[in-house]
């Protein structure tokens, strides 16, 4: 989206303070927390493809709000719409990919394929940055905003044409504890929602993977501050999209290496993220544009670990409500995002570095959380 590298600057140039911008980001996360799991159950119950298409359309409404009503209230409405749209898509995308691979007996390739999906999403930011620069020069923020709206509409059209495997698991009465008085033979929406949440709570290894992925997912909120970080390094507004290109490029390499990285143990993954935290600390201590290189290296390591955490999560889901379980993990991910917003407001990059280091320390513990049934040679 052309508006991505510019919207934080749009808020600042409209007159919003750093605290107000952080409030908007927090609102975005709050909407995600409320809508994430219910929307995941919708995807499991009524289809992952419709969820992706509707989510893109709702997101388009959000960007239109920023252009038509530039101000704190208009930005807030836009973030509410964006949060709802993202909630509809998240969980649905991972479940659609995993079940599609499983339908052709290729589920073990999920980490590699999802890594390449993530890499493609980052690489596309390169031409997007150039487009954003041209649009800003020609028509300012409104031009970037309207093109983003059109892009969302195009995404919805493409999503509606994606194949959805007919053999994907579905929630039925046999999927739910028959002793549960709420058990419903017609596999209702509420039954789908309940099945996903119960699976997370009832299986400690899955819960550990959910928390691990959630902590990592929440750290991605730091990406929202990259444009402001570039401006602090005296990069002009028009040049910010181009200056930031190195970050998604290195991030794409990291995501693409998610497949090979999936061979690493839990302890090694913690070390990789700890190295990323050290690089981020260097960036916080060097007030010069060269610090963007350190941020890029951090981001590449982070994206590789995130892909692996996602794969470990999908591996541990055994029930039919895959999108719902993934959405639960995404909700967990919204909680640390609040810590990122607060850290930036209080201490900038240095404070965010502390959060990354803490996550690196917790990661091995969470991914090693197993029961005897999950040990090699024992049934699940």
Taking the C-alpha atoms of residue 343 and residue 185, their distance in angstroms, rounded to an integer, is: 47
| DSSP assigned state of 234 | T
How many whole angstroms from its chain centre is CA 38?
A: 17
Taking the C-alpha atoms of residue 199 and residue 112, their distance in angstroms, rounded to an integer, is: 25
Average pLDDT over residues 344-349: 84
pLDDT at 260: 87
pLDDT at 178: 40
Q: Distance between terminal CA atoms of the chain?
A: 42
Taking the C-alpha atoms of residue 287 and residue 293, their distance in angstroms, rounded to an integer, is: 12
Looking at the whole model, is its pTM more than 0.85? Answer: no
pLDDT in tens, 185-218: 344 666 666 777 777 777 878 888 888 988 998 8
pLDDT at 185: 37
User: Which of 12-16, 229-233, 236-240, 345-349 is most confident?
Assistant: 12-16
Residue 341 has pLDDT above 80, yes or no: yes
Cα angle: 318, vertex 319, 324; to 5 degrees? 115
**What domains lie within the chain, and their CATH numbers?**
7-165+197-371 (1.20.1250.20)
Average pLDDT over residues 9-36: 84
Q: How many residues does the chain have?
A: 380
The answer to whether the CB of 111 falls within 8 A of the CB of 307 is: yes
């Amino acid at each position: 989206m052309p508006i991505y590298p510019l919207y934080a600057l749009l808020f600042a140039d409209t007159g919003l303070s750093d605290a107000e911008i952080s409030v908007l980001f927090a609102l975005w996360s709050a909407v995600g927390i409320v809508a994430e799991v219910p929307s995941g159950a919708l995807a499991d119950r009524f289809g992952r493809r419709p969820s992706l298409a509707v989510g893109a359309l709702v997101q388009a409404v959000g960007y239109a709000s920023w252009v038509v009503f530039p101000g704190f209230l208009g930005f807030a409405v836009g973030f509410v719409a964006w949060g709802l749209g993202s909630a509809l898509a998240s969980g649905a995308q991972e479940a659609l990919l995993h079940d599609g691979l499983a339908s052709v007996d290729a589920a073990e390739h999920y980490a590699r394929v999802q890594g390449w999906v993530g890499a493609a999403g980052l690489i596309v930011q390169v031409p997007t940055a150039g487009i954003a620069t041209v649009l800003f020069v020609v028509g300012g923020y409104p031009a970037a905003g309207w093109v983003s709206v059109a892009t969302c509409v195009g995404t919805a059209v493409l999503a509606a044409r994606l194949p959805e495997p007919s053999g994907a698991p579905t929630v039925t009465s046999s999927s739910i504890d028959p002793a549960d008085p709420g058990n419903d033979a017609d596999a209702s929406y509420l039954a789908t929602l309940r099945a996903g949440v119960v699976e997370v709570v009832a299986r400690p290894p899955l819960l550990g993977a959910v928390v691990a992925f959630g902590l990592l997912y929440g750290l991605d909120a730091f990406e929202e501050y990259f444009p402001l970080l570039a401006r602090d390094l005296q990069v002009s507004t028009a040049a910010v999209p181009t200056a930031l290109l190195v970050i998604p490029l290195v991030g794409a390499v990291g995501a693409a290496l998610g497949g090979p990285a999936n061979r690493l143990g839990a302890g090694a993954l913690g070390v990789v993220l700890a190295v990323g935290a050290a690089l981020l600390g260097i960036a916080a201590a060097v007030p010069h544009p060269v610090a963007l290189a350190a941020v890029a290296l951090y981001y590449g390591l982070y994206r590789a670990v995130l892909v692996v955490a996602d794969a470990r999560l999908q591996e541990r889901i055994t029930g039919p409500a895959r999108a719902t379980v993934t959405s639960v993990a995404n909700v967990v991910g919204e909680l640390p995002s609040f810590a990122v917003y607060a850290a930036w407001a209080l201490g900038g990059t240095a404070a965010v570095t502390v959060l990354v280091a803490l996550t690196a320390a917790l990661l091995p513990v969470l991914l090693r959380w197993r029961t005897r049934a999950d040990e090699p040679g024992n049934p699940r």
